[in-house]
A and B are shown apart, each in its own frame.
Chain A
């Protein structure tokens, strides 16, 4: 099972109105693996990530061409319901965005919408499981009814991860999940990401090359909308093939 191809992108192009944000990207993302997208600001890595669960559909001017296959099924096929797709491909955002509800209701949001539980006890179990996997259970188990917005930044982000896990997705997309957090909270999230790959296909966009090196198995380097280089993280950082990758990881561009 391990290292099976989960997502396969073929000739993906993304446009914002007239701007060509992603140019002809081909990439294969493996299951039970952490894949990092790195690159300078504006290189299109977040855009590409958002096209993996069709979050770009919510932007009117955005247009995606090419194919993105999830388990062999093109997610841009008219047959596919983007809402169901997003339940399978969860997402964690740059800024922690807990809903102004209790911690419990935050985590229970997805399961309730998708009807994942038959009873209150079952829902309780899902919430506990998700919070445990999100490494937050011990900290919040006594105050599940308090508002999620009252937690610290790092806790809020772990709550958002737990919220995504509770929906029981297959893929977890993370858009710079640590950029708004301090180093301690960042370390906790990174540790969590490491655990998550046991169960999920994790794709993370990051600004920090150290973070990519620490948490990911595979790394893709984007530059000006092109996928410049994609390979095992260690190899990409130690002996990059493309000169642009080398200049970026050695700090000459970006």
Chain B
């Protein structure tokens, strides 16, 4: 039974269950609905959930797990074939076999039984024509073994899936019929439906957490691989970032971390004053009309993709700075050789963070109760005294939290620094020099022809994990601070 058939039959089955179970309950209840535990639609809803939901879950799990089984069977048949020498790259072969399997799938092999000849071997001409029919280039050099295994894999998948779908349908039909024949007015359908819904909500919340864990675990694996190949002392305590492909790379996070923090702090020096002042203006001084215009405009700024900011840094702001500080520039100094620099990336990143700081601070300032403002005005304080002496101190912890959140965004920001910061890893105090960051190095180590077993590529995962941990710590502190502040007024 194919997947689409199962889907159709399943939908029909669910509809049948919903209507028959509700009908049966309303038929069984004789005393004018008094003995009915729940309202009728809950019985139908429970029918929907108990027939549909388990099938959906099993189906999802199946598609997550079964590929591992198929791959294992391919590897096994490759090894059993005795044609493979031990030093061959198995995963490369498996990849080729999977492409063959996919070609067979899209060519709808089931209609062409002549793929195998009488003695059970692959018929090359037919395969070649199959490849032709789906516009897949046929490589006559491919080993016959791969076609054989690919065909076996295709057959195995087809048969397993058909059996699986059949079993699934029988299970579904079984549950449905048991429910339809057992359901009665005393059944606590409402209670169960609400609990199932609760379960769905919890599962949805869990997905976010599981994803985070999954990210950390996958990074951890690759990071461990990296530390097997590269000295951890060099990574954490070295001075130089100089990856090469001769096997003696020096790869230390410190110069990158320095660049990252330098650019982030630069960005915060731009974003925090501007963002905070605009928040104060919006929250305290602006009329509702001004606010209704300015606030959406700030939020539009927040919606601009960071790559666009990066372009702005590269082609507009960087050259603009160089025109002042570069050789032959307006100031007559030669401090800046490249359009890309800490100042370029930092300023533009600061602009990107302005709406972020501003809108968070605006919310926090608005959360300061009006009664405090009234109290201050009632004592004869002016608006600016009230803001300086009452509102900002009250909002300070929240604002600090907002700044920390902005900092963690700045540290993780990629596209602006890729385009605006440069590629030179070094320790330097001059903000007009190019410098590089953790994120740009991750990008450059992973783009191009990377061999995922060399330390020069794997270092990206170690860098990524470090970045993740830094921003995680910052976020945790920020959330803690913000939450502590919230408690004061609730």
Listed in ascending order, the chain A residues whose CB lies under 8 Å from chain B are 53, 55, 58, 60, 83-88, 90-93, 95, 97-101, 109-110, 113-114, 149, 160, 163-164, 167
**Contact B378–A55 (Cβ < 8 Å):** yes
Instruction: Provide the main secondary structure of the chain A interface.
Output: helix
12 A-B pairs (CB sep. < 8 Å): A55-B377, A60-B288, A86-B379, A90-B380, A91-B379, A93-B374, A110-B380, A113-B381, A113-B389, A163-B375, A164-B378, A167-B379
Return the chain B residue nearest A85 by Cβ.
Answer: B380
Taken residue by residue from 361 to 394, chain B's Cβ proximity to chain A (1 for < 8 Å, 0 otherwise) reads as 0000000010111111111111001000110011
**Contact A55–B394 (Cβ < 8 Å):** no
Query: 18 new A-B pairs (CB below 8 Å) besides A86-B380, A97-B369, A97-B374?
Result: A55-B377, A83-B381, A85-B380, A87-B379, A90-B379, A93-B371, A93-B378, A95-B371, A97-B371, A98-B375, A99-B376, A99-B390, A100-B372, A100-B394, A113-B385, A149-B488, A160-B375, A163-B379
Q: Does B287 sit at the interface, judged by CB under 8 A?
A: yes
Return the chain B residue nearest A163 by Cβ.
Answer: B379
**Contact B488–A58 (Cβ < 8 Å):** no
Shortest CB-to-CB span from A252 to chain B, Å, is 34
Chain B neighbourhood of A93, CB < 8 A: 371, 374-375, 378
Selected contact of B380 from candidates A92, A95, A97, A114, CB within 8 Å: A114
Chain B neighbourhood of A99, CB < 8 A: 372, 375-376, 390, 393-394
Chain B neighbourhood of A163, CB < 8 A: 375, 379
**Contact A58–B374 (Cβ < 8 Å):** yes
Chain B neighbourhood of A97, CB < 8 A: 369, 371-372, 374-375
Chain B neighbourhood of A95, CB < 8 A: 371
Q: How far, in whole Å, are A83 and B380 apart by their CA atoms in the complex?
A: 5
Return the chain B residue nearest A98 by Cβ.
Answer: B375
Chain B neighbourhood of A167, CB < 8 A: 379-380
Q: How far, in whole Å, are A87 and B373 apart by their CA atoms in the complex?
A: 15
Chain B neighbourhood of A160, CB < 8 A: 375
**Contact B380–A113 (Cβ < 8 Å):** yes
**Contact B287–A60 (Cβ < 8 Å):** yes
Q: How far, in whole Å, are A246 and B410 apart by their CA atoms in the complex?
A: 69
Q: How far, in whole Å, are A244 and B145 apart by their CA atoms in the complex?
A: 104
**Contact A84–B393 (Cβ < 8 Å):** no
Return the chain A residue nearest B288 by Cβ.
Answer: A60
Chain B neighbourhood of A58, CB < 8 A: 373-374, 377
Chain A neighbourhood of B378, CB < 8 A: 53, 55, 86, 90-93, 164
Taken residue by residue from 382 to 409, chain B's Cβ proximity to chain A (1 for < 8 Å, 0 otherwise) reads as 1001000110011000000000000000
Chain A neighbourhood of B389, CB < 8 A: 109, 113
Q: How far, in whole Å, are A109 and B359 apart by their CA atoms in the complex?
A: 29
Chain A neighbourhood of B287, CB < 8 A: 60
Shortest CB-to-CB span from A4 to chain B, Å, is 23
Q: How far, in whole Å, are A182 and B377 apart by their CA atoms in the complex?
A: 27
Q: How far, in whole Å, are A163 and B374 apart by their CA atoms in the complex?
A: 13
Chain A neighbourhood of B379, CB < 8 A: 86-87, 90-91, 109-110, 113, 163-164, 167
**Contact A86–B371 (Cβ < 8 Å):** no
Taken residue by residue from 200 to 244, chain B's Cβ proximity to chain A (1 for < 8 Å, 0 otherwise) reads as 000000000000000000000000000000000000000000000
Chain A neighbourhood of B393, CB < 8 A: 99-101
Shortest CB-to-CB span from B199 to chain A, Å, is 41
Q: How far, in whole Å, are A114 and B375 apart by their CA atoms in the complex?
A: 15
Selected contact of A84 from candidates B376, B380, B385, CB within 8 Å: B380
Q: How far, in whole Å, are A90 and B374 apart by their CA atoms in the complex?
A: 11
Return the chain A residue nearest B489 by Cβ.
Answer: A100
Q: How far, in whole Å, are A92 and B371 apart by their CA atoms in the complex?
A: 10
**Contact A87–B380 (Cβ < 8 Å):** yes
**Closest 5 A-B residue pairs measured CB to CB?**
A87-B380, A91-B378, A97-B371, A86-B380, A110-B379
Q: How far, in whole Å, are A92 and B375 apart by their CA atoms in the complex?
A: 7
Residues 181-197 of B contacting A (Cβ, < 8 Å):
none
Chain A neighbourhood of B385, CB < 8 A: 113
Q: How far, in whole Å, are A163 and B385 apart by their CA atoms in the complex?
A: 16
Chain B neighbourhood of A100, CB < 8 A: 372, 393-394, 488
Q: How far, in whole Å, are A100 and B389 apart by their CA atoms in the complex?
A: 10
Return the chain B residue nearest A106 by Cβ.
Answer: B375
Q: How far, in whole Å, are A24 and B284 apart by their CA atoms in the complex?
A: 32
Q: How far, in whole Å, are A55 and B394 apart by their CA atoms in the complex?
A: 22
Shortest CB-to-CB span from A211 to chain B, Å, is 21
Shortest CB-to-CB span from A201 to chain B, Å, is 16
Shortest CB-to-CB span from A202 to chain B, Å, is 15
Q: How far, in whole Å, are A100 and B489 apart by their CA atoms in the complex?
A: 10
Would A109 and B374 be within 8 Å (CB), given that A83-B382, A100-B488, A101-B393 are in contact? no
Q: How far, in whole Å, are A53 and B375 apart by their CA atoms in the complex?
A: 12
Q: How far, in whole Å, are A98 and B379 apart by their CA atoms in the complex?
A: 12
Return the chain A residue nearest B397 by Cβ.
Answer: A100
Shortest CB-to-CB span from B289 to chain A, Å, is 10
Shortest CB-to-CB span from B281 to chain A, Å, is 16
Shortest CB-to-CB span from B373 to chain A, Å, is 7
Chain B neighbourhood of A164, CB < 8 A: 378-379
Chain A neighbourhood of B390, CB < 8 A: 99
Shortest CB-to-CB span from A192 to chain B, Å, is 18
Shortest CB-to-CB span from B381 to chain A, Å, is 5
Q: How far, in whole Å, are A167 and B379 apart by their CA atoms in the complex?
A: 7
Shortest CB-to-CB span from A178 to chain B, Å, is 16
Q: How far, in whole Å, are A113 and B375 apart by their CA atoms in the complex?
A: 13
Chain B neighbourhood of A84, CB < 8 A: 380
Shortest CB-to-CB span from B58 to chain A, Å, is 55
Most B Cβ at <10 Å: residue of A110, A113, A160: A113
Q: How far, in whole Å, are A26 and B373 apart by their CA atoms in the complex?
A: 30
Return the chain B residue nearest A149 by Cβ.
Answer: B488
Shortest CB-to-CB span from B470 to chain A, Å, is 31
Shortest CB-to-CB span from B472 to chain A, Å, is 30
Q: How far, in whole Å, are A86 and B376 apart by their CA atoms in the complex?
A: 10
Shortest CB-to-CB span from A111 to chain B, Å, is 9
Taken residue by residue from 43 to 80, chain B's Cβ proximity to chain A (1 for < 8 Å, 0 otherwise) reads as 00000000000000000000000000000000000000
Chain B neighbourhood of A113, CB < 8 A: 379-381, 385, 389
Q: How far, in whole Å, are A97 and B382 apart by their CA atoms in the complex?
A: 18
Residues 148-195 of B contacting A (Cβ, < 8 Å):
none
Shortest CB-to-CB span from A158 to chain B, Å, is 14
Chain A neighbourhood of B377, CB < 8 A: 55, 58, 86
Q: How far, in whole Å, are A53 and B369 apart by their CA atoms in the complex?
A: 21
**Contact B380–A109 (Cβ < 8 Å):** no
Q: How far, in whole Å, are A87 and B378 apart by their CA atoms in the complex?
A: 7
Q: How far, in whole Å, are A86 and B389 apart by their CA atoms in the complex?
A: 17
